[in-house]
């Protein structure tokens, strides 16, 4: 069986690490993976370093498509992925998550009648203003295999009339967390480089358009983080696009008291996540990683796809209001230990491969 895997952004590299490892384990049975990188994340610290640290095979194709509006980027990717599909003629196209790369790959394959497998299917924020929500809904609609990370994702698909091809396999990011958490502790030197003691610093990320494209929301987030940083170090790995908008909006002064870094390699980020007192983020992946490592999370969004993290008390939704962010941090309590693991047993990648080869 020949799979063409489309990736383009940091979360997809992480998810692909687990599945690509499972595919290589089946090479003796004739399973082959061709990796295509759209180039959506092109920065060294957001792309190549993940392939190096996660032992992902180098992509056979790199489209180097990044920047521009959502429509322009997706259209260019769609055209380029189609050409690769015509050349490779895979038995299946594999996509992850909800980026423009995901949608472009899925549409290109569907129009050529190549079956699509969607890893992380069924997630819903129920906010159609999010580009990611549009991408994931459309991708689910054209997919033959819908690999769900949680029972809530399965229920979402059933509510939309989709049951054919739906499988509850667990979350491949949990596979990755289990595999790399100890390696990050042993190999990363980021805590000493930044001079932050374990359990005595805040980790923050902010990159979603709903926050970065709104000056008031971004200002409120940075102002709250700056006030927290007066008493507790705040480490902020800053996405290149966020960095540009901070300066465009004239908000650079709010970064003064923060420990701002470039986007971090995977193992450094995992080491920081495990050692943080609390994590502030608008990233879906970081919310889950916080839960996996049992670190309290305060999510800078009005909704989340990962409802289980909220229901189990490890995640608070606070939006982007300055007072709400500070109140959540001021009232922070260590949650009760989670007695259930809603994202599987750490074998999602193996389950995916078994389903694809049946």
Active site annotation includes 207: yes
**Residue appearing with tokens 């001079």:** 195
Please tell me the predicted confidence (pLDDT) of residue 282. 97
Residue 40: predicted pLDDT? 83
Question: Are 54 and 266 a contacting pair, CB within 8 Å?
Answer: yes
- Tokens for 313? 């008390």
Same domain, 351 and 279: no
Q: Based on the domain organization, do 245 and 351 belong to the same domain?
A: no
Question: Which pLDDT belongs to residue 47?
Answer: 58
Of 207, 231, 239, 322, which one is the catalytic site residue?
Answer: 207
Query: 278 and 323 share a domain?
Result: yes
Q: Taking CA 250 as the corner, what is the angle to CA 72 and CA 235, rounded to the nearest 5 degrees?
A: 85
The b/e string for 72-85 (b: 16+ C-beta within 10 A; e otherwise) is ebbbbbbebbbebb
Kindly state the average pLDDT of the residues 54-69. 89
CATH code, domain carrying 162: 3.40.50.2000
The residue range of the domain holding 229 is 179-330
Q: What is the CA radius of gyration of the chain?
A: 20
Regarding whether 201 and 94 lie in a shared domain, the answer is no
- Alpha carbons 42 and 45: distance in angstroms, whole number: 8
Question: What is the pTM for the complete model shown?
Answer: 0.92
pLDDT, residue 46, reads: 52
Least confidently predicted of 293-297, 318-322, 337-341: 337-341
- Say if CB 299 and CB 206 are below 8 A apart: no
For 311-322, write each residue's pLDDT tens digit.
999 999 999 999
Contact (Cβ atoms closer than 8 angstroms) between residue 173 and residue 15: yes
User: Residue 145: enclosing H or E segment and its boundaries?
Assistant: strand 145-148
**At 309, is the pLDDT very low, low, confident or very high (cuts 50, 70, 90)?**
very high
> Has residue 336 been placed in a domain?
no
Measured distance CA(62)–CA(38) in Å, rounded:
6
Q: How far apart are CA 161 and CA 49, in angstroms?
A: 40
């Amino acid at each position: 069986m020949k799979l063409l895997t489309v990736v383009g952004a940091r979360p997809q590299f992480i998810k692909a690490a687990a599945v690509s490892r499972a595919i290589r384990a089946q090479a003796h049975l004739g399973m082959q993976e061709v990796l295509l990188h759209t180039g959506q994340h092109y920065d060294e610290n957001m792309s190549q370093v993940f392939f190096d640290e996660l032992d992902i095979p180098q992509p056979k194709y790199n489209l180097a498509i990044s920047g521009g509006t959502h429509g322009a980027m997706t259209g260019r990717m769609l055209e380029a992925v189609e050409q690769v599909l015509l050349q490779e003629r895979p038995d299946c196209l594999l996509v992850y998550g909800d980026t423009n790369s995901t949608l472009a790959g899925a549409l290109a394959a569907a129009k050529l009648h190549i079956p699509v497998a969607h890893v992380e299917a069924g997630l819903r924020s129920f906010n159609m203003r999010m580009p990611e929500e549009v991408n994931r809904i459309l991708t689910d609609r054209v997919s033959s295999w819908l690999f769900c990370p949680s029972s809530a994702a399965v229920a979402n698909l059933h509510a939309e009339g989709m049951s054919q091809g739906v499988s509850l396999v667990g979350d491949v990011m949990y596979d990755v967390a289990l595999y790399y958490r100890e390696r990050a502790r042993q190999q990363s030197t980021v805590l000493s480089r930044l001079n932050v003691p374990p359990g005595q610093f805040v980790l923050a990320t902010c990159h979603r358009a709903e926050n970065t494209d709104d000056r008031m929301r971004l200002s409120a987030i940075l102002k709250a983080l700056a006030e927290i940083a007066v008493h507790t170090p705040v480490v902020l790995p800053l996405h290149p696009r966020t960095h540009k908008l901070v300066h465009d909006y004239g908000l650079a002064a709010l970064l003064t008291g923060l420990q701002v870094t470039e986007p971090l390699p995977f193992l450094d980020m995992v080491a920081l996540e495990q050692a943080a007192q609390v994590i502030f983020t608008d990233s879906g992946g970081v919310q889950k990683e916080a839960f996996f490592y049992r670190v309290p999370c305060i999510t800078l969004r009005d909704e989340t796809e990962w409802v289980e993290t909220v229901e189990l008390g490890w995640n608070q939704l606070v939006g982007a209001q300055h007072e709400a962010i500070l109140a959540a941090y001021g009232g922070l309590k260590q949650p009760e230990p989670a007695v259930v693991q809603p994202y599987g047993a750490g074998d999602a990648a193996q389950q995916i491969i078994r389903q694809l080869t049946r």
